[in-house]
Structure 1
Amino acid sequence: MNIKNIHIGSLIQSKVEEQQMPMERIAKFLDKAEWEAEIMFQKKSIDTDILLKWCKLLKFDFFRFYTGHLILYAPNSIVDNTLKQKKGTMVFRKNIYTQEVKNFILDKIKTGAMSSNEVITRYKIPKTTLYKWLKKDII
Protein backbone atom coordinates (compact mmCIF):
# COMPACT_ATOMS: atom_id res chain seq x y z
CA MET A 1 0.00 0.00 0.00
CA ASN A 2 1.46 3.31 -1.12
CA ILE A 3 0.17 5.76 1.48
CA LYS A 4 1.73 8.70 -0.37
CA ASN A 5 -0.44 8.28 -3.49
CA ILE A 6 -3.89 7.10 -2.43
CA HIS A 7 -6.19 5.68 -5.14
CA ILE A 8 -9.36 5.23 -3.13
CA GLY A 9 -11.30 3.54 -5.93
CA SER A 10 -8.89 0.62 -6.17
CA LEU A 11 -8.83 0.29 -2.37
CA ILE A 12 -12.62 0.08 -2.30
CA GLN A 13 -12.62 -2.42 -5.16
CA SER A 14 -10.15 -4.70 -3.38
CA LYS A 15 -12.29 -4.61 -0.21
CA VAL A 16 -15.42 -5.42 -2.25
CA GLU A 17 -13.63 -8.38 -3.85
CA GLU A 18 -12.27 -9.52 -0.49
CA GLN A 19 -15.78 -9.54 1.00
CA GLN A 20 -17.30 -10.94 -2.24
CA MET A 21 -20.09 -8.38 -2.06
CA PRO A 22 -22.61 -8.54 -4.93
CA MET A 23 -22.92 -5.43 -7.10
CA GLU A 24 -26.72 -5.51 -6.72
CA ARG A 25 -26.40 -4.95 -2.98
CA ILE A 26 -23.81 -2.19 -3.48
CA ALA A 27 -25.97 -0.37 -6.04
CA LYS A 28 -29.03 -0.59 -3.81
CA PHE A 29 -27.15 0.68 -0.73
CA LEU A 30 -25.53 3.58 -2.62
CA ASP A 31 -28.80 4.30 -4.45
CA LYS A 32 -26.97 4.22 -7.78
CA ALA A 33 -26.93 2.06 -10.89
CA GLU A 34 -24.47 -0.85 -10.88
CA TRP A 35 -22.40 0.76 -13.64
CA GLU A 36 -22.11 3.98 -11.57
CA ALA A 37 -20.79 1.99 -8.62
CA GLU A 38 -18.27 0.21 -10.86
CA ILE A 39 -17.04 3.54 -12.26
CA MET A 40 -16.11 4.58 -8.72
CA PHE A 41 -13.48 1.82 -8.70
CA GLN A 42 -11.50 3.76 -11.33
CA LYS A 43 -11.65 7.09 -9.49
CA LYS A 44 -8.61 8.34 -7.59
CA SER A 45 -10.84 10.35 -5.26
CA ILE A 46 -14.55 10.40 -4.44
CA ASP A 47 -16.92 12.63 -2.51
CA THR A 48 -16.74 12.24 1.27
CA ASP A 49 -20.47 11.49 1.58
CA ILE A 50 -20.09 8.58 -0.82
CA LEU A 51 -16.88 7.43 0.88
CA LEU A 52 -18.74 7.42 4.20
CA LYS A 53 -21.41 5.19 2.65
CA TRP A 54 -18.69 2.81 1.41
CA CYS A 55 -17.26 2.73 4.95
CA LYS A 56 -20.63 1.78 6.38
CA LEU A 57 -21.38 -0.80 3.69
CA LEU A 58 -18.01 -2.54 3.87
CA LYS A 59 -17.53 -1.95 7.62
CA PHE A 60 -14.08 -0.49 6.98
CA ASP A 61 -12.63 2.97 7.68
CA PHE A 62 -11.26 4.20 4.34
CA PHE A 63 -10.56 7.61 5.87
CA ARG A 64 -7.66 6.11 7.83
CA PHE A 65 -5.57 6.07 4.65
CA TYR A 66 -5.89 9.84 4.49
CA THR A 67 -5.16 10.17 8.22
CA GLY A 68 -2.01 8.12 7.75
CA HIS A 69 -1.01 10.32 4.82
CA LEU A 70 -1.46 13.46 6.92
CA ILE A 71 0.61 12.06 9.76
CA LEU A 72 3.49 11.19 7.45
CA TYR A 73 3.40 13.97 4.87
CA ALA A 74 1.73 17.02 6.44
CA PRO A 75 3.89 20.14 6.64
CA ASN A 76 5.41 20.98 10.01
CA SER A 77 3.31 24.14 10.31
CA ILE A 78 0.24 22.05 11.16
CA VAL A 79 1.95 20.83 14.33
CA ASP A 80 2.87 24.39 15.31
CA ASN A 81 -0.66 25.65 14.64
CA THR A 82 -2.31 23.01 16.84
CA LEU A 83 -0.36 24.30 19.82
CA LYS A 84 -1.72 27.80 19.23
CA GLN A 85 -5.39 26.82 18.84
CA LYS A 86 -7.90 29.07 20.52
CA LYS A 87 -10.81 27.92 22.60
CA GLY A 88 -13.74 26.64 20.51
CA THR A 89 -11.75 25.74 17.41
CA MET A 90 -11.16 22.31 15.99
CA VAL A 91 -7.85 20.74 16.95
CA PHE A 92 -6.04 18.34 14.61
CA ARG A 93 -4.56 15.58 16.74
CA LYS A 94 -1.24 14.33 15.43
CA ASN A 95 -1.14 11.33 17.77
CA ILE A 96 -3.54 9.15 15.79
CA TYR A 97 -1.29 6.42 14.44
CA THR A 98 -2.94 3.73 12.37
CA GLN A 99 -1.45 0.27 12.04
CA GLU A 100 -0.48 1.09 8.45
CA VAL A 101 1.53 4.10 9.64
CA LYS A 102 3.21 2.05 12.37
CA ASN A 103 4.12 -0.68 9.86
CA PHE A 104 5.46 1.89 7.40
CA ILE A 105 7.70 3.49 10.01
CA LEU A 106 8.89 0.21 11.52
CA ASP A 107 9.69 -1.05 8.01
CA LYS A 108 11.84 2.05 7.38
CA ILE A 109 13.82 1.29 10.53
CA LYS A 110 14.11 -2.48 9.87
CA THR A 111 15.35 -2.02 6.31
CA GLY A 112 17.84 0.60 7.40
CA ALA A 113 16.30 3.30 5.23
CA MET A 114 16.02 5.52 8.32
CA SER A 115 17.38 5.45 11.84
CA SER A 116 15.18 5.87 14.91
CA ASN A 117 16.42 9.43 15.36
CA GLU A 118 15.65 10.29 11.73
CA VAL A 119 12.09 8.95 12.14
CA ILE A 120 11.61 10.97 15.33
CA THR A 121 12.90 14.13 13.66
CA ARG A 122 11.12 13.78 10.32
CA TYR A 123 7.71 12.51 11.46
CA LYS A 124 7.62 14.19 14.89
CA ILE A 125 6.85 10.93 16.67
CA PRO A 126 7.62 11.00 20.39
CA LYS A 127 10.67 8.94 21.29
CA THR A 128 8.79 6.87 23.88
CA THR A 129 6.03 6.06 21.39
CA LEU A 130 8.52 4.86 18.78
CA TYR A 131 10.39 2.70 21.27
CA LYS A 132 7.12 1.14 22.46
CA TRP A 133 6.34 0.21 18.84
CA LEU A 134 9.80 -1.25 18.40
CA LYS A 135 9.51 -3.25 21.63
CA LYS A 136 6.09 -4.67 20.64
CA ASP A 137 7.32 -5.46 17.15
CA ILE A 138 10.21 -7.57 18.45
CA ILE A 139 8.02 -9.69 20.72
Structure 2
Amino acid sequence: MKFDFKNIHIGKCIKNRVEEEEISISRICNFHKTSVNEIYKMYEEESMDAEVLLQWCKLLKYDFFRMYSQHLILFSPEIRSDSNTRIKTEAIHLPKFRKNIYTKQVVEFILELINTGEKTKLQIAEEYKIPKTTLYKWISKYSNNEK
Protein backbone atom coordinates (compact mmCIF):
# COMPACT_ATOMS: atom_id res chain seq x y z
CA MET A 1 0.00 0.00 0.00
CA LYS A 2 1.42 3.38 -0.97
CA PHE A 3 1.15 6.42 1.26
CA ASP A 4 -0.70 9.41 -0.19
CA PHE A 5 1.80 12.23 0.24
CA LYS A 6 -0.58 14.67 -1.43
CA ASN A 7 -3.43 14.28 1.10
CA ILE A 8 -1.98 13.87 4.56
CA HIS A 9 -4.48 13.10 7.35
CA ILE A 10 -2.18 13.36 10.35
CA GLY A 11 -4.75 12.07 12.87
CA LYS A 12 -5.14 8.80 10.97
CA CYS A 13 -1.35 8.49 10.69
CA ILE A 14 -0.98 8.93 14.44
CA LYS A 15 -3.75 6.45 15.18
CA ASN A 16 -2.11 3.87 12.89
CA ARG A 17 1.24 4.34 14.62
CA VAL A 18 -0.39 4.01 18.07
CA GLU A 19 -1.95 0.72 16.95
CA GLU A 20 1.37 -0.51 15.51
CA GLU A 21 3.20 0.31 18.73
CA GLU A 22 0.35 -1.03 20.88
CA ILE A 23 0.48 1.93 23.26
CA SER A 24 -2.29 2.05 25.85
CA ILE A 25 -4.73 4.92 25.86
CA SER A 26 -3.96 5.58 29.54
CA ARG A 27 -0.26 6.09 28.74
CA ILE A 28 -1.19 8.43 25.88
CA CYS A 29 -3.54 10.45 28.12
CA ASN A 30 -0.88 10.72 30.83
CA PHE A 31 1.75 11.80 28.33
CA HIS A 32 -0.48 14.48 26.77
CA LYS A 33 -2.16 15.36 30.07
CA THR A 34 -5.58 15.15 28.47
CA SER A 35 -8.72 13.01 28.35
CA VAL A 36 -9.54 9.95 26.29
CA ASN A 37 -12.12 11.98 24.34
CA GLU A 38 -9.50 14.59 23.43
CA ILE A 39 -7.16 11.85 22.15
CA TYR A 40 -9.92 10.39 20.00
CA LYS A 41 -10.64 13.89 18.63
CA MET A 42 -6.97 14.18 17.67
CA TYR A 43 -7.26 10.96 15.66
CA GLU A 44 -9.99 12.66 13.59
CA GLU A 45 -7.97 15.82 12.86
CA GLU A 46 -6.54 16.25 9.37
CA SER A 47 -3.96 18.68 10.75
CA MET A 48 -2.83 19.82 14.18
CA ASP A 49 -0.71 22.33 16.04
CA ALA A 50 3.04 21.80 15.64
CA GLU A 51 3.61 21.57 19.41
CA VAL A 52 1.01 18.82 19.73
CA LEU A 53 2.46 16.99 16.74
CA LEU A 54 5.94 17.27 18.23
CA GLN A 55 4.66 15.60 21.40
CA TRP A 56 3.21 12.76 19.32
CA CYS A 57 6.58 12.39 17.56
CA LYS A 58 8.32 12.00 20.90
CA LEU A 59 5.78 9.55 22.32
CA LEU A 60 5.60 7.38 19.21
CA LYS A 61 9.28 7.77 18.26
CA TYR A 62 8.33 8.70 14.71
CA ASP A 63 8.98 11.88 12.69
CA PHE A 64 5.52 12.85 11.43
CA PHE A 65 6.92 16.15 10.16
CA ARG A 66 8.83 14.22 7.52
CA MET A 67 5.53 13.46 5.77
CA TYR A 68 5.09 17.18 5.22
CA SER A 69 8.70 17.56 4.07
CA GLN A 70 8.12 14.83 1.50
CA HIS A 71 4.92 16.57 0.42
CA LEU A 72 6.97 19.72 -0.22
CA ILE A 73 9.56 17.79 -2.20
CA LEU A 74 6.88 16.30 -4.42
CA PHE A 75 4.35 19.10 -4.73
CA SER A 76 5.98 22.49 -4.10
CA PRO A 77 6.52 24.76 -7.06
CA GLU A 78 9.97 25.11 -8.51
CA ILE A 79 11.92 28.05 -7.06
CA ARG A 80 12.44 30.88 -9.52
CA SER A 81 15.88 32.43 -9.52
CA ASP A 82 15.07 36.06 -10.27
CA SER A 83 16.76 38.94 -8.45
CA ASN A 84 13.78 39.63 -6.12
CA THR A 85 13.76 36.05 -4.85
CA ARG A 86 17.49 36.16 -4.15
CA ILE A 87 17.19 39.33 -2.08
CA LYS A 88 14.32 37.95 -0.02
CA THR A 89 16.11 34.63 0.54
CA GLU A 90 19.30 36.32 1.71
CA ALA A 91 17.37 38.35 4.31
CA ILE A 92 15.84 35.25 5.95
CA HIS A 93 17.67 33.95 9.02
CA LEU A 94 16.25 30.43 8.93
CA PRO A 95 18.17 27.26 8.17
CA LYS A 96 18.34 26.38 4.49
CA PHE A 97 17.49 22.81 3.49
CA ARG A 98 18.17 21.08 0.22
CA LYS A 99 14.98 20.24 -1.64
CA ASN A 100 16.46 17.43 -3.70
CA ILE A 101 16.81 14.85 -0.93
CA TYR A 102 14.41 12.00 -1.63
CA THR A 103 13.62 9.43 1.04
CA LYS A 104 13.20 5.74 0.32
CA GLN A 105 9.42 6.16 0.75
CA VAL A 106 9.28 8.88 -1.91
CA VAL A 107 11.36 6.78 -4.31
CA GLU A 108 9.05 3.79 -3.70
CA PHE A 109 5.99 6.03 -4.20
CA ILE A 110 7.32 7.30 -7.54
CA LEU A 111 8.36 3.85 -8.76
CA GLU A 112 4.98 2.42 -7.82
CA LEU A 113 3.28 5.12 -9.92
CA ILE A 114 5.40 4.00 -12.88
CA ASN A 115 5.03 0.26 -12.26
CA THR A 116 1.24 0.44 -11.94
CA GLY A 117 0.97 2.60 -15.05
CA GLU A 118 -0.70 5.37 -13.08
CA LYS A 119 1.82 7.87 -14.48
CA THR A 120 4.46 7.80 -17.19
CA LYS A 121 8.10 8.69 -16.62
CA LEU A 122 7.58 11.95 -18.49
CA GLN A 123 4.52 12.84 -16.37
CA ILE A 124 6.48 12.20 -13.18
CA ALA A 125 9.47 14.24 -14.34
CA GLU A 126 7.21 17.17 -15.24
CA GLU A 127 4.71 17.00 -12.36
CA TYR A 128 7.16 16.37 -9.51
CA LYS A 129 10.16 18.18 -11.06
CA ILE A 130 12.36 15.12 -10.67
CA PRO A 131 15.28 15.17 -13.11
CA LYS A 132 14.99 12.45 -15.73
CA THR A 133 18.51 11.24 -14.94
CA THR A 134 17.55 10.78 -11.29
CA LEU A 135 14.38 8.94 -12.25
CA TYR A 136 16.25 6.58 -14.58
CA LYS A 137 18.90 5.93 -11.90
CA TRP A 138 16.13 4.92 -9.48
CA ILE A 139 14.54 2.61 -12.04
CA SER A 140 17.90 1.01 -12.84
CA LYS A 141 18.97 0.67 -9.20
CA TYR A 142 15.72 -0.72 -7.84
CA SER A 143 14.92 -3.02 -10.77
CA ASN A 144 18.40 -4.57 -10.35
CA ASN A 145 17.79 -5.08 -6.62
CA GLU A 146 14.57 -6.97 -7.27
CA LYS A 147 16.26 -9.53 -9.52
The reply to whether TM is greater than 0.5 is yes
- What's the CA shift for 1:5? 1.3
Q: Distance in 2 between matches of 1:3 and 1:50?
A: 21
1:99 aligns with 2:104: yes
Partner residue, 1:127:
132
Report the 3-state secondary structure (helix = DSSP H, G, I; strand = E; otherwise coil) of the residue aligned with 2:44: coil
User: 1:34 — aligned with what?
Assistant: 36
For 1:9 and 1:130, the matched residues in 2 are separated by 32
TM-score (norm 1): 0.84
Q: Percent sequence identity over matched residues?
A: 45
The letter of the residue matching 2:112 is D
CA-to-aligned-CA distance 1:30-79 (integer Å, 9 cap, x gap): 12122211210011111110101101110111112111211222123xx2
Aligned counterpart, 2:53:
51
Give the letter for the 2:118 counterpart.
Answer: A
| More relative contact order, 1 or 2 (CA 8 Å, 6+ apart) | 2
Could you list the per-position Cα deviations for residues 81-118 of structure 1 after superposition, in whole angstroms to 9, with x for gaps in the alignment?
A: 69833165433531132233212211122223333333
Count the aligned residue pairs. Answer: 137
1:110 to 94, 104, 115: 115
Measured on the aligned residues, the alpha-carbon RMSD in Å equals 2.2
Where in structure 1 are there 5+ consecutive unaligned residues?
A: none
Q: 2:10 aligns with which of 8, 22, 30?
A: 8
TM-score relative to the length of structure 2: 0.80
